[in-house]
Structure 1
Amino acid sequence: MDNKQKVMQWIDDHQEEITCFLQELIRTPSVNPYFEDNPGEAREGRVQQVMKAHMEKLGADIDMWEPDTKGLAKYEGYPGYSSDFDETDRPNMVATVKGSGNGKNLVLMGHIDTVAKGTEWTHDPFSGELENGNIYGRGAVDMKGGIAAMTMAVDAIVRSGITLAGDVSVATVVAEETPGIGTLAYVERGYRPDACIMTEATELKVAPLCRGVIWGKLTVEGRSGHIELPRQNWRDGGAVDAIKKARIFLDHFDHLNEEWTITKTHPLLKVPCQIYVGKVVMGEFISTYANKAEIYFDATYLPRERDEFGGGHLVMKEIEDLIHGVCESDPWLKEHPPVLEWQINADCGETDAQHPFIKTMQNSLEELKIPPVLEGCYFHTDMGWVEKAGIPIVNFGPGDPRDAHSSDEKCPVEDLIQATKTIALTILDWCRTTSDASLH
């Protein structure tokens, strides 16, 4: 039996253990403190201790540190950096299984934080319940499923008695959900492996691209007044309907989206970048003209649109220009321009789809008779800082990303096992075993 067969057999024989490890991660809450319903002691630190203990049993060298906000201050204005980040009990962890030193190095990376537990669950969000072939819980797919798969892939190799030529590291970083400082801190620490797998959920597709995301809040001013009475001209103190003014901006967002359908496409994405309005808050009382309207929107952008900092300021400027143009065409808005607040600027990344590492991953899928589909991520992942550091990186992981952030978030056990196998085969081919390396 060759090394690959040994590892595949180990994974088949330890499916229950792989499943239980994901359940353990889910049962150790790690809600990003940004979210208001963060349960007590749920910061990333506790689950990082679970990861540390697991990797120590494999003989890994452990590097654990909390991102230093002051030390990273030179990145002010860059995606991921936040001067008010509270690093207390929020450590990054890099656990490295050393190879013989004559092979390529690989890091398996994932963010250990989750969004809030949310509401309307039919399963306890921190139970890791197994039902009908799915593991349920907050973080099951975003992204503790990927972390479990990458960790157990290393288990399979080490516990099969195989020595690699190159180093393989398991890196779990904090604060991806916001602001993204964990991956920035990883790169700043000086890590430069030869390749990286970011184990975000991709339905087992190989995703060498992710889009960037910016969030904005547009506050449109109106003037209240009784809605049933004749209105005076606004210059004479009459009411102004903020809802009607907001509708102008919503219409122009739709027109801009029609343009973006043509101009903001990518061959690895099925849909173009768009401005998505996710929340609208308008009005005070049913018979009063609204004196304020708030439009919250999400806009995506492509790596080719990155600014000098690697973020989305060029796209922000495009939206700002649109809003300014609308104001110039409306007398009220010209004198009472809305307030635009940028809330999130999450970066993006792209690795050449022809890179040898991408081909290595596709070959691993083919060995398992899984279609080696190339498709970009439609959402932000942490790949930006890694890619900008010159490290070829791909997103690949178990589960459907549409389940992320949802009630009854789940990861299929079958996906978990197949992802573990795919990552293990990729490790063996990329890092090579000591015996393989000696032949080259």
Structure 2
Amino acid sequence: MPSEVRAADAGGARDGAPGIRAGSTAPSSTAPSPASTAPSRLELAVDALIDEHAADAEQLLTELVAVPSVNPKQPGVNGDQYAGGETRANELLAEWLGRTAMETHWVEQEAGRANLVAIRRGGGGGRSLALNGHIDTVAPQQGRFADPFKAERIGRTLFGLGATDMKAGHAAMWLALQAIERAGATLAGDVHVHSVVGEETMSHEAGTTAVLNAGYRTDAALIPEPTSSPSALFNLSNTAPGNYLFSVTVRGKSTHWASRNLAIRAGGGGDEVGVNAIDKAVYIYNAMRQLEEQWAFTKKHPQFAPGSFIIHPGVLHADIGVAAAPYFPDRARFDYLLSFPPGETSEQIRAEVEAHLNGAAALDPWLRQHPLEFEWIDTWPPAYTDPQSEFARVALEARNETVAALGVESLAAPVPAGAQSDASFYEAQGIPAIVCGPGDLLVAHAADEAVNLDMIPVAAKMMARVALRWCA
């Protein structure tokens, strides 16, 4: 479906190629390191305004959690039940951002799933910045509270679906931008908010990539995905592994279960009697495990610990079409999710996996005659922004300054992310992207998803500093 771009009447939306400066390019990775600076008077004023309005950001988060913006393409989800929820959440966010004098635009690649683009226009001549957050959530689970869409508080912890992943990031974006506006700051470059759909199912074509292809490109992107945990607050990441979701199906030959001795013992008919697909699947599983063990030595990246890249078997299903033990199952299917390092492509990984398993299958007489069936379902390219690039260093300095008040140690360099994000799709279009946010990755996608409310103003101060310095 061709992309539809809708410009809102309110907020002074402009026609033409939106949000991109002519001749704009990503900053060079060889740019000189920005000098370490003390916070300016303006930055301190913005910090004070963030603290003053932190309770408003908590209210925004509460309202966002109340909107069921479950990704309708989540496995096991009734898509009709949640149709339009992502759009409604973005409409709520647009209302709040409108209070900061930002113009709003809409990009709707898939009907009923509208991405929000809000822009604070700069004076011209400066670099632009996108603050990106996905508004969709995973499916609700039964946790300690009856209603996953009602924000519940215990002390300074707010529980609710999407609270940590990643509506707290949206609240921090709003908090940073309203403080910049109230402080009367003048920026040379534009600041965008890209609040997108589809991230939880790797549907970037409907979300972040649709926004970029519609012309809303920037010189850099900061993504406040959850990178905090009680032991490591505000990790700042420039890289993440790629992943690939795929299945391998093994075919067998069904017969009565009591014929197993004839199928596998000397003197029986062997494959002519029957072939249990589970037996053949175990053979293929072992071959895959062998490949994974090789990867511990062959898949390397200087920012990742040895053995970081894995081939995870998540589902095994075998039967004859119904779950019935008295038969030889004639099909077995593994669903796998693997990770791979920056510098390699999804196409290379696919070819390597197929070559290894087909090589193993060729040694088995049955599998040689009944080839493995692969289904390559979804892939996420690796993320990588040069950690020595100017944008990475601006973001790292802002992070280190703002977390110092928490007693958190400075990072000497960015670290790998614990999960994939839409950073990959900015980087795929030559836009450097950094991930750092207030949510706790350890409780993302959990039944009792929660966020520490005190992390929201910290994230907002970091984002505000990045905007003030990058777009100045």
TM-score (norm 2): 0.82
Offset at 1:37? 3.6
Q: Show the counterpart of 2:378.
A: 344
Offset at 1:408? 1.0
Inter-partner Cα distance in structure 2 for 1:236 and 1:347: 41
* Contact 2:84-2:112 within 8 A present in 1 as well: no
Give CA deviations for 1:88-119 in whole Å, capped at 9, x if unaligned: 12111111111222432111111111121133
Inter-partner Cα distance in structure 1 for 2:121 and 2:326: 70
2:177 counterpart of 1:146: no
- Decide whether aligned partners of structure 1 residues 236 and 212 sit closer, same or farther in structure 2, where only a CA change above 3 A counts: closer
2:352 counterpart of 1:318: yes
Offset at 1:235? 5.7
2:156 counterpart of 1:156: no
2:204 counterpart of 1:180: yes
**Match runs of 1:25-174 below 5 Å:** 25-35=64-74, 36-38=77-79, 39-67=81-109, 87-122=110-145, 124-174=147-197
Q: Show the counterpart of 2:302.
A: 267
**Match runs of 1:369-380 below 5 Å:** 369=404, 370-373=408-411, 374-380=414-420
Unpaired stretches in structure 1, ≥5 consecutive residues: 68-86, 307-311, 433-440
* Contact 2:237-2:435 within 8 A present in 1 as well: yes
Inter-partner Cα distance in structure 2 for 1:268 and 1:105: 28
Q: Show the counterpart of 1:7.
A: 46
Q: Show the counterpart of 1:363.
A: 397
* Contact 1:37-1:116 within 8 A present in 2 as well: no
* Contact 2:84-2:113 within 8 A present in 1 as well: no
- Decide whether aligned partners of structure 1 residues 337 and 96 sit closer, same or farther in structure 2, where only a CA change above 3 A counts: same
Q: Which of these residues, 219, 226, 247, is aligned with residue 201 of structure 1?
A: 226
Q: Show the counterpart of 1:277.
A: 313
Offset at 1:262? 1.6
Offset at 1:372? 3.9
Offset at 1:285? 2.5
Give CA deviations for 1:373-428 in whole Å, capped at 9, x if unaligned: 32112432112221122211111111222322221111221222221121112112
Offset at 1:42? 4.6
What letter corresponds to residue 471 of structure 2 in structure 1?
C
Inter-partner Cα distance in structure 2 for 1:124 and 1:378: 28
Offset at 1:166? 2.0
Residues 138-147 or 223-232, more deviating? 223-232
RMSD over aligned CA atoms reads: 1.9
* Contact 1:208-1:394 within 8 A present in 2 as well: yes
* Contact 2:383-2:423 within 8 A present in 1 as well: yes
What letter corresponds to residue 351 of structure 2 in structure 1?
K
Residues 421-430 or 235-244, more deviating? 235-244
- Decide whether aligned partners of structure 1 residues 330 and 8 sit closer, same or farther in structure 2, where only a CA change above 3 A counts: same
What letter corresponds to residue 399 of structure 1 in structure 2?
G
Residues 255-264 or 217-226, more deviating? 217-226
Q: Show the counterpart of 1:231.
A: 262
Q: Show the counterpart of 1:418.
A: 458
2:427 counterpart of 1:387: yes
Inter-partner Cα distance in structure 2 for 1:143 and 1:264: 30
2:241 counterpart of 1:211: yes
Inter-partner Cα distance in structure 2 for 1:276 and 1:146: 29
Inter-partner Cα distance in structure 1 for 2:448 and 2:373: 37
Inter-partner Cα distance in structure 2 for 1:42 and 1:375: 36
- Decide whether aligned partners of structure 1 residues 120 and 246 sit closer, same or farther in structure 2, where only a CA change above 3 A counts: farther
Offset at 1:162? 2.2
* Contact 2:310-2:338 within 8 A present in 1 as well: yes
Offset at 1:172? 0.8
Offset at 1:65? 2.1
TM-score (norm 1): 0.88
Give CA deviations for 1:144-167 in whole Å, capped at 9, x if unaligned: 122221221111211233222322
- Decide whether aligned partners of structure 1 residues 428 and 248 sit closer, same or farther in structure 2, where only a CA change above 3 A counts: same
Offset at 1:175? 1.3
Q: Which of these residues, 60, 69, 72, is aligned with residue 21 of structure 1?
A: 60
Q: Which of these residues, 397, 400, 411, is aligned with residue 437 of structure 2?
A: 397
- Decide whether aligned partners of structure 1 residues 94 and 344 sit closer, same or farther in structure 2, where only a CA change above 3 A counts: same
- Decide whether aligned partners of structure 1 residues 377 and 101 sit closer, same or farther in structure 2, where only a CA change above 3 A counts: same
- Decide whether aligned partners of structure 1 residues 302 and 366 sit closer, same or farther in structure 2, where only a CA change above 3 A counts: same
Inter-partner Cα distance in structure 2 for 1:286 and 1:58: 63
* Contact 2:284-2:360 within 8 A present in 1 as well: yes
SS at match of 1:304: coil
Q: Which of these residues, 304, 314, 328, is aligned with residue 343 of structure 2?
A: 304
What letter corresponds to residue 251 of structure 1 in structure 2?
N
Inter-partner Cα distance in structure 2 for 1:377 and 1:236: 48
- Decide whether aligned partners of structure 1 residues 427 and 236 sit closer, same or farther in structure 2, where only a CA change above 3 A counts: closer
Inter-partner Cα distance in structure 2 for 1:22 and 1:147: 8
Give CA deviations for 1:114-134 in whole Å, capped at 9, x if unaligned: 121133453521112222322
What letter corresponds to residue 210 of structure 1 in structure 2?
A
**What is the identity percentage for the equivalent residue pairs of Structure 1 and Structure 2?**
32
Inter-partner Cα distance in structure 2 for 1:372 and 1:361: 12
Inter-partner Cα distance in structure 1 for 2:269 and 2:340: 38
Inter-partner Cα distance in structure 1 for 2:367 and 2:167: 47
Unpaired stretches in structure 2, ≥5 consecutive residues: 1-39, 229-233
Offset at 1:60? 0.8
* Contact 2:50-2:461 within 8 A present in 1 as well: yes
- Decide whether aligned partners of structure 1 residues 239 and 401 sit closer, same or farther in structure 2, where only a CA change above 3 A counts: same
Inter-partner Cα distance in structure 1 for 2:103 and 2:71: 26
Aligned residue pairs total 408
Inter-partner Cα distance in structure 2 for 1:191 and 1:137: 31
Offset at 1:279? 1.1
Q: Show the counterpart of 1:335.
A: 369
